[in-house]
Structure 1
Amino acid sequence: MKIKPELLAPAGNLEKLKMALIYGADAVYMGGKAFGLRAFSDNFDEAELEQGIRFAHSLGKKAYITINIFPHNNDLINLPDYLKYVAKIGADAIIVSDPGIFRIARQITPNLPIHISTQANNTNWSAVRFWQELGASRVVLAREISLADIKLIRQKVEIELEAFVHGAMCMSYSGRCLISNYLTGRDSNRGECAQPCRWKYHVMEESRPGVYLPVQEDERGTYIFNSKDLCLINHLPELIASGLSSFKIEGRMKSVHYVATVVKAYREAIDSYARSSVSADDQQKWLDELQKVSHREYTTGFYFNKTTAQDQIYASSSYMQTHDFIGLVRKYHAETGMAVVEQRNNMKVGETIEIMQPGAENFVQTITQMFDAEGNSIQVAPHPQQIVTMPVARPVVPYAMLRRPEIRRERA
């Protein structure tokens, strides 16, 4: 049996945390209401942080808390109390970018493991060894290095190494960008990035105000900073062989459907590669799954070559997906074959749906009947989070997801 790396998933809120772990993640990373680089995800208040950590530990899994902003002086005022709280509630590690936060954490919570964030831009073995010698337990490598770089770093250091395998890419060195600050006043290095790298840009010549010229001769304009999304699902053997300890999925601001689908695909892939039982059909199945969630076109990033124009998207900043998430199973009654479903998108009797659940094959069926909470037969469930009951073709478990295939489209 090959050594399997940890599968680390994003948790933007408590529901996403539960879905990530139920669908196969070994650990999650999440942020409180302060000190994290995803200020516009839901994030966790103190009670939710405790609940999330308890849930992870109840499954024998881990929870890491992000404290990865680049702080200014006033950000440090409440940091000691927050660190004490995070240690008290049993976080398995904190994720840190800034040496100042690292220093205070070592003083205040010396027994709390520290992971060095990708925001610290570690691109060489000497930088990684620097953090090792200071007492860090893991370094999340910069997304801007190659697989060959990772292998050399692994040979030179004795510390856990983590790397991203899936999700959005940044046009700057792992987030060190001031475009958002300049254009919107929102500090990307303190969790408030407005993602102006995804916007459409034109050029205006000084003597012709109001005349906007496309940077690229294309009637749709151009998105000059807009990267494709990272996807390494079919390159996991090389990553496993490189000695990485953890495979990280990006996406604390992504949907529940995104988190569950991506985690399940990578869980199956990691387990299959560890057994050396992977076929071309398996690889295609995982890629097909990753097409079902909202995403940009995929790239392998910096892992195998320097990036080129082929790793960017110049015509649009839209997302694409092949399926809509329409319902979440809350209960299943084996004696009747009926599932209690919480509606997440308009669904109707007669529609063909796919049901995905952890640890089992997806299956397709038609919605033949639906009943509302009072037991009345209904043809459509139009209300958000409406509770309906319907027959399902196979047994399902809580947190199984209903999704509706559709013609492939782009989403703004």
Structure 2
Amino acid sequence: MEIIVTVGKLEEINMLKEAGATTLIFCDEFHGTRAPGKFSKDELILAFEKSRSCGLKTAVFMNRIYTDVELELANEYLLFLKENKVDFIYYNDPAIFMLASSLDMVKYLVYEPDTLMTNSRDMQFILDQGVHHAVLSTEITLDEMKMMIENVKGNTEAILFGYLNMSYSKRHLIQNYCDEIGIKNSCLNKMDCILVESTRDGRMPILEDEQGTHIYTDYVLDAFEEANILKDCGLNAIRVDSIFLDIDVVVDACKILSGKSKLIREEFELKYDMYPFSKGYMYQKTNLVK
């Protein structure tokens, strides 16, 4: 079972290795988004070398929605990743698939369209294109996840710990709001901004960067027990998304999911009671809670 973790800082690599991580996801300053940290090309090269020296696989986010004029940059970045022997490339824009096809790199691709991968037919179609694996939507139930995993031939991944990306707009919504009411926007590229709706009590992390506005769930998913159920169904990889989280809680979550810790869910939640843990949509459909 692969334990895949997003990385915010270079110094986290050894800690995550000891916690049981097998693959680390990094993000650069242009091609990726929705990551706990961003790295320059020189930092990425160092991160890849350091990860491989620990026996870890490497991955990158390439989840930007590209315009036509940006495709040349995307092609150059793919060549950079190929030269540096990256194991996996997470994408959602079909243009990346086409570019990767021309470079004989489809086998490194991981399709992650956020909330859209909700049925086995769509997933099988993607897997049949030759990508390494695809990521299940976080907005389906446990039973629906089980059915998808059991009904497809190919590799599958599920995000089972962390804040979940709930909404994305390429527009800069916070900036537009601030412009409308005449105040300075202090949230650009900040990890500590919160959205509170008038109809909900939860506090939703919101990130605005060069690529738009990203709104997250008001809870942290901790599907530890469900991970074992999905593993028995044939799930190949578990993701721990560390965005907005302290490294200590990420490390402990990795240890539980990798079997290196016997800490049970109740003890874990008590230890980190500053976080709003939840099972998310595991046992209730989204139309019942949205």
TM-score computed with the length of structure 1 as normaliser: 0.58
Corresponding residue SS for 1:14: coil
Q: SS at 1:78's partner residue?
A: helix
Alignment of 1:61-100 (within 5 A): 61-100=56-95
Deviations 1:172-205 (A, max 9, x none): 3xx4346x7333259xxxxx78799942345xxx
Render the CA deviation track for 1:190-239: whole Å, top value 9, x for unaligned. Answer: xx78799942345xxxxxxxxxxxx57xxxxx448653211112333212
- 1:21 equivalent in alignment to 2:13: no
Please say if residues 11 and 28 of structure 1, whose CA atoms lie closer than 8 Å, have aligned partners that are also in contact: yes
CA contact (8 A) 1:6 1:26 kept: yes
The aligned counterpart of 2:40 is: 45
The equivalences for 1:190-339 within 5 A come to: 198-202=194-198, 215=199, 222-223=201-202, 227-268=218-259, 282=262, 284=264, 286-293=265-272, 296-307=275-286
Distance in 2 (CA, whole Å) between partners of 1:68 and 1:100 is 11
Q: Deviations over 1:290-348 (max 9, x none)?
A: 54448532111222222588x79xxxxxxxxxxxxxxxxxxxxxxxxxxxxxxxxxxxx
8 Å contact kept, 1:84–1:109: no
Q: Deviations over 1:232-272 (max 9, x none)?
A: 1233321211211001111245333233232223223xx68
Residues 16/293 of structure 1: CA separation in 2 closer, same or farther (3 Å cut): farther
CA distance in 1, matches of 2:274, 2:74: 35
Quote the residue 1:165 is aligned against.
Answer: 160
Q: CA deviation at 1:60?
A: 2.4
Change (3 A) 1:254 1:223: closer
The yes-or-no answer on 1:8 pairing with 2:8 is no
In the alignment, the residues of structure 1 paired with residue 257 and residue 150 of structure 2 have an alpha-carbon distance, to the nearest angstrom, of 26
**CA distance in structure 1 between the partners assigned to 2:25 and 2:157 by the alignment:** 13
Task: Describe the SS at the equivalent of 2:218.
Answer: coil
Q: In structure 2, list runs of 5 or more residues that go unmatched.
A: 178-187, 205-216
Higher radius of gyration, 1 or 2: 1
Contact 2:114 2:138 in 1 (8 A): no
- Share of identical aligned residues, percent? 20
> Quick check: 2:108–2:131 contact (8 Å CA) kept in 1?
yes
SS in 2 for 1:102: helix
DSSP 3-state at the match of 2:196: coil
CA contact (8 A) 2:106 2:132 kept: no
Q: Note closer, same or farther for the CA distance 1:228–1:256 as it changes in structure 2 (3 Å cut).
A: closer
User: Comparing 241-250 with 151-160, which one deviates more in the overlay?
Assistant: 151-160
Greater helix share, 1 or 2?
2
- Confirm or deny that 1:127 pairs with 2:106: no
CA drift of 1:45 comes to 1.6
* Cα deviation code 1:43-97 (max 9, x no counterpart): 2222222222222222322111110122223332311111100111110010011
Give the TM-score normalised by structure 2. 0.80
Paired residues in the alignment total 268
Structure 1 residue matching 2:283: 3-state secondary structure: coil
Q: Per chain length, whose mean CA-contact separation is higher, i.e. which structure has more relative contact order (CA < 8 Å, sep 6+)?
A: 2
1:119/1:74 CA distance change after superposition, 3 Å: farther
- Structure 1 stretch displaced more, 294-303 or 57-66: 294-303
RMSD: 3.1
Tell me which amino acid in the other structure corresponds to 2:267: D
Contact 1:83 1:105 in 2 (8 A): yes
Separation in structure 2 between the aligned mates of residue 130 and residue 86 of structure 1, nearest angstrom: 25
Cα 1:301–1:86 change in 2 (3 A) is same
